[in-house]
Amino acid sequence: MSKTKVAVVKCLPLAGNASFMGGKFIREEDDVSKIKATVAKAVELAIGSLDVIIKPGQTVLIKPNLAFQAPAESHAVVDPRVVEAVVSYVKENSQASEVWIGDNPSLGMHVGRAKPAFAESGMEDAARRGGVDKVIYFDETEVVEVEIPEAKVFKKAAVFKPVMDADVVINLPKLKVHLAGTVTLGLKNWNGIIPNMHPSAQQQGAHRIDLGPKFADLYRVRKADLTIVDAIIGMEGQGPHAGTPVEMNLIIAGTDTVATDAVSAYIMGFDPIEIPAIRCTANEGLGEMDLEKIEVVGEPADAVRRHFGRPNDNPIGMYKGFTVYAQQTCPGCYANVRGALDSFKNTGINMTEFISKKGEVVVAAGGLPDFDPEFAKDKNLFVVGDCWEYFPTSDNIRQAINVAKSVTYYPGCAPVYIFAQLNADLQKMAKAE
Ligand code: SF4
């Protein structure tokens, strides 16, 4: 039996990378041409030609990773040059009737809607320059209820209709580490095929268990016909939103998203088995993660491999006067508190000044075996999650609410939206007179 192929292709040096990594995106025509040639080579090595997956007259949906409403310089979203190159390549090299691009920020209303996110990331302009026929704001479309009989956690999912309507789907993730998923690649990018309004049963149910089985289930809804990983500039450290850019200058492509993710994760210095989404999908028989059974074409993976810095998901003890008490048997609350603190720090805030002006902050996240109400007396208290109510210390939390200087409550289990909302509320507090 022939092995599944994953292409790894190196792009020629890009003039705009230095300023982009330094915080200013500059589009150079020549850079887009070089990336387009790299995409073309990767597709050719992986499948021969787009005609293998796109028949005349078919519609094609490109699903980028528009994880957040954030500028391109955040490196949290797909590089606009890659978006332009992929759209333009598909338009010119396939007999598709229409090429669409569509997505939705992963935390839905709490980090912005699709339309402003497409605009702020530069993706909409890039896709239009590439000749896209339609930019689809997923949160403005209908959803389709899909049964997933073999699912472990998502027996049924509400899926954005364009994902089901398109004849061909191209998955376009970015090469990043992720504090909850270890990495975010093609499988994690499927988080955007479902609405992410929080708190909602659909989102929270899956996050309470684990992201791995969730992505195996979502992958059953509809596999991508082709996955193209934007590995031009990756992200290490506090990904997926607050990490450090890493120049890789690669495009990685394959028809098996699991195999493409496995090779991409290996290039980031991981063993694919370390990534829950990869091992769950592979062990469900949905793709190949065994590198011995994957044919890597183009650059040998070892020749371009480097160790990406790992994210830390623990928010405890980071700042004097900003105390986090968290239930550490379940990361559903604490990992998202950490994500919010990383975003808050990235605003350039001076934490010492913030605490001295606004007063001490206490975050009580999840169910706490011990919590003295005096911890919160005259401080700004943030109560996170639902499960504290079921712990013997629930009365202590209620007393803390009565003696705190200010109280903000984030219901839900897991309250994933605090990743964005706690950061927004801290910023509001910092700006208030
Ligand atoms: S509320 Fe409790 S069970 Fe739910 S995610 Fe938070 S810590 Fe976990």
Structure tokens given for 338: 């950490």
Handedness of CA 230, 91, 287, 300 (dihedral sign): negative
Distance from Cα 416 to the centre of ligand 1, integer Å: 10
pLDDT of residue 292: 98
**Residue 330: CB within 6 Å of ligand 1?**
yes
Q: What is the largest CA-CA distance in the chain?
A: 69
Structure tokens given for 394: 């629930």
Distance from Cα 357 to the centre of ligand 1, integer Å: 31
pLDDT of residue 317: 95
Range list of H helices, 210-312: 211-221, 257-267, 276-283, 301-304
Distance from Cα 345 to the centre of ligand 1, integer Å: 24
**Residue 209: CB within 6 Å of ligand 1?**
no
Q: Candidates 211, 313, 325, 330: which one to mutate for ligand 1, based on the most atoms within 8 Å of Cβ?
A: 330
pLDDT of residue 20: 98
Distance from Cα 418 to the centre of ligand 1, integer Å: 12
* Mean pLDDT confidence for 361-377: 95
The number of the ligand 1 atom at minimal distance from the alpha carbon of 208 is 5
In this structure, whether the domain defined by 322-431 belongs to CATH 3.30.70 is answered with no
pLDDT in tens, 169-180: 999 999 999 998
Query: What does the DSSP assignment read for 337-401?
Result: HHHHHHHHHHTT--HHHHHHHH--EEEEES--S---GGGGTTSEEEEE-SGGGGSTTHHHHHHHH
**Residue 336: CB within 6 Å of ligand 1?**
no
Distance from Cα 412 to the centre of ligand 1, integer Å: 8
pLDDT of residue 209: 55
Structure tokens given for 385: 């999650």
Calculate ∠ Cα 405-408-409, nearest 5°: 135
Helix axes of 331-346 and 418-431: crossing angle, nearest 10 degrees: 40
**Residue 412: CB within 6 Å of ligand 1?**
no
**Residue 413: CB within 6 Å of ligand 1?**
yes
Structure tokens given for 321: 């006067």
Confidence of residue 109 (pLDDT cuts 50, 70, 90): very low
pLDDT of residue 54: 98
pLDDT of residue 110: 52
pLDDT beyond 80 at 197: no
| Residues linked to residue 102 through DSSP beta bridges, in sequence order | 136
**Residue 212: CB within 6 Å of ligand 1?**
no
pLDDT in tens, 383-393: 999 999 999 99
pLDDT in tens, 243-283: 999 999 999 999 999 999 999 999 999 999 999 999 999 99
Q: Candidates 324, 386, 393: which one to mutate for ligand 1, based on the most atoms within 8 Å of Cβ?
A: 386
Calculate ∠ Cα 208-212-215, nearest 5°: 100
**Residue 331: CB within 6 Å of ligand 1?**
no
Phi-psi region of 10 (alpha: psi -120 to 50; beta: other; left: phi over 0): beta
Q: Candidates 198, 208, 314: which one to mutate for ligand 1, based on the most atoms within 8 Å of Cβ?
A: 208
- Pairwise CA distance, residues 67 & 45, whole Å: 29
**Residue 414: CB within 6 Å of ligand 1?**
yes
Task: For the chain, give the number of residues.
Answer: 433
Structure tokens given for 46: 């992986």
User: Distance between alpha carbon 278 and the CA centroid of its chain, in Å?
Assistant: 15
Distance from Cα 313 to the centre of ligand 1, integer Å: 15
Structure tokens given for 38: 């790299």
Distance from Cα 413 to the centre of ligand 1, integer Å: 5
Distance from Cα 152 to the centre of ligand 1, integer Å: 20
pLDDT in tens, 294-322: 999 999 999 999 999 999 999 999 999 99
Q: What share of the chain is helix, strand, coil (3-state, %, to 5)?
A: 40, 20, 35
Q: Name the closest-CA residue to atom 4, ligand 1.
A: 413
Parallel/antiparallel/unpaired status of strands 226-236 and 294-298: unpaired
pLDDT of residue 153: 81
pLDDT in tens, 56-101: 999 999 999 998 889 999 999 999 999 999 999 999 999 999 999 9
pLDDT beyond 70 at 201: no
- Pairwise CA distance, residues 273 & 290, whole Å: 9
Structure tokens given for 24: 């200013």
User: Distance between alpha carbon 315 and the CA centroid of its chain, in Å?
Assistant: 19
Nearest to 75 by CA among 229, 308, 241: 241
Nearest to 203 by CA among 104, 60, 269: 104
The continuous run of DSSP H or E covering 35 comes out as helix 29-47
- Pairwise CA distance, residues 182 & 262, whole Å: 12
pLDDT beyond 60 at 198: no
Give burial (CB, 10 Å; 0-12/13-18/19+) of 109.
Answer: middle
pLDDT of residue 53: 98
pLDDT beyond 80 at 232: yes
**Residue 153: CB within 6 Å of ligand 1?**
no
Determine the CATH number of domain 4-304. 3.40.50.11440
Calculate ∠ Cα 289-292-296, nearest 5°: 85
**Residue 368: CB within 6 Å of ligand 1?**
no
Proportion of the chain above pLDDT 70, given as a percent: 95
Structure tokens given for 371: 């919590």
The continuous run of DSSP H or E covering 176 comes out as strand 174-178
CATH 3.40.50.11440 residue ranges in the chain? 4-304
pLDDT in tens, 327-340: 878 888 999 999 99
Confidence of residue 168 (pLDDT cuts 50, 70, 90): very high
Please state, rounded to an integer, the average pLDDT across all residues of the chain: 93
Parallel/antiparallel/unpaired status of strands 294-298 and 4-10: parallel
Distance from Cα 131 to the centre of ligand 1, integer Å: 45
